[in-house]
């Protein structure tokens, strides 16, 4: 089960299978895909400006629910869920409290920004189960966590605390869900066209796409760009509309 809640311009998504420590089963993936489709529409005109992904206590996500999970439809839909978060034009924050293992760590690295309670544990125990994550996850973990951490998790089957990952720069902030929502609200007040372009540029990596170029031009010629400059000169907080 997945719960959603709108708080102003922030969408809170909560994985809510506490009896299974929020492990992902196929119905949960289908729910997430449907939510992402809705958010893709609502974020196109910035009706929402930030997303927070979390899990109901006692975990963020303990991994894939291994009862009935096989290579095929489940892994294809998991891949879609991960990539869909990267395609949203608004920032997605992972708010981690408790274990984020296996597919939980995959969800974490699919998000743009990460905040966690210090004792939360992350890792990918695939080597203990005879499973293999997809190549997208391997590259994403390397990019977001750094090569040494990714190798430790994927080859060494190591787990790491959020506090340690914060020291390494892989977790951006330490804090709870309230801190994550406060952060999301501050992000929601920033220029959404700028965030959309920067997010696209980061996803493109070393080969910027025509899509990034279009987003960049749109932001530079927008009313928001004029508003930002006026607000700076007038020493006031800008009111960005996404136009």
Same-domain status, 7 and 106: yes
Domain of 97, in residue numbers: 2-187
Same-domain status, 17 and 130: yes
Same-domain status, 203 and 215: yes
Secondary structure of the chain as H, E, C letters: CEEEEEECCEEEEEECCHHHCCCECHHHHHHHHHHHHHHHHHHHCCCCCEEEEEECCCCCECCECCCCCCCCHHHHHHHHHHHHHHHCCCCEEEEECCCEECHHHHHHHHCCEEEECCCCEEECHHHHCCCCCCHHHHHHHHHHHCHHHHHHHHCCCCEEEHHHHHHHCCCCEECCHHHHHHHHHHHHCCCHHHHHHHHHHHHHCCCCCHHHHHHHHHHHCCHHHHHHHHHHHHCCCCCCCCC
Please identify which residue in the block is written with the tokens 């309670």.
117
pLDDT for 70 equals: 61
Same-domain status, 195 and 174: no
pLDDT in tens, 25-73: 999 999 999 999 999 999 999 999 999 999 999 999 999 998 755 668 9
Same-domain status, 147 and 218: no
pLDDT for 186 equals: 98
| pLDDT at residue 181 is higher than 60 | yes
Same-domain status, 212 and 141: no
Establish if 69 belongs to a structural domain.
yes
Same-domain status, 200 and 173: no
Give this prediction's pTM.
0.96
Percent above pLDDT 90 for the chain: 95
Average confidence score pLDDT of the chain? 96
pLDDT for 85 equals: 98
| pLDDT at residue 2 is higher than 80 | yes
Same-domain status, 61 and 39: yes
pLDDT for 209 equals: 84
Q: What is the rounded average pLDDT of the residues 133-162?
A: 97
CA distance 120 to 146: 19
Q: How many structural domains are present in the chain?
A: 2
Establish if 156 belongs to a structural domain.
yes
| pLDDT at residue 201 is higher than 60 | yes
pLDDT for 194 equals: 98
Same-domain status, 143 and 210: no
pLDDT in tens, 82-111: 999 999 999 999 999 999 999 999 999 999
Same-domain status, 109 and 208: no
Same-domain status, 182 and 160: yes
Same-domain status, 116 and 182: yes
Domain edge (last residue) among 187, 204, 219: 187
| pLDDT at residue 205 is higher than 90 | no
Which CATH number fits the domain that encloses residue 169?
Answer: 3.90.226.10
């Amino acid at each position: 089960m997945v719960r959603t809640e709108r708080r102003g311009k922030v969408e809170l998504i909560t994985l809510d299978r506490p009896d299974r420590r929020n492990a992902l089963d196929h119905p949960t993936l289908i729910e997430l895909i449907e939510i992402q489709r809705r958010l893709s529409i609502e974020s196109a005109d910035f009706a929402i400006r930030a997303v927070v992904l979390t899990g109901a206590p006692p975990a963020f996500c303990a991994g894939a629910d291994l009862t009935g999970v096989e290579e095929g439809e489940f892994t294809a839909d998991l891949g879609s869920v991960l990539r869909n978060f990267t395609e949203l034009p608004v920032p997605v924050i992972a708010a981690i409290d408790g274990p984020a293992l296996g597919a939980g760590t995959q969800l974490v690295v699919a998000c743009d920004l990460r905040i966690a309670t210090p004792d939360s544990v992350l890792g990918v125990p695939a080597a203990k189960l005879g499973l293999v994550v997809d190549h997208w996850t391997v590259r994403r973990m390397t990019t977001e966590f750094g090569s040494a951490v990714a190798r430790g998790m994927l080859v060494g089957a190591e787990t790491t605390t959020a506090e340690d990952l914060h020291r390494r720069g892989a977790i951006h902030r330490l804090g709870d869900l309230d801190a994550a929502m406060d952060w999301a609200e501050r992000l929601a007040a920033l220029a959404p066209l700028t965030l959309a372009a920067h997010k696209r540029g980061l996803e493109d990596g070393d080969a910027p796409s025509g899509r990034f170029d279009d987003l960049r031009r749109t932001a530079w010629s927008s009313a928001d760009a004029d508003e930002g400059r006026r607000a700076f000169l007038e020493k006031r907080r800008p009111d960005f509309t996404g136009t």
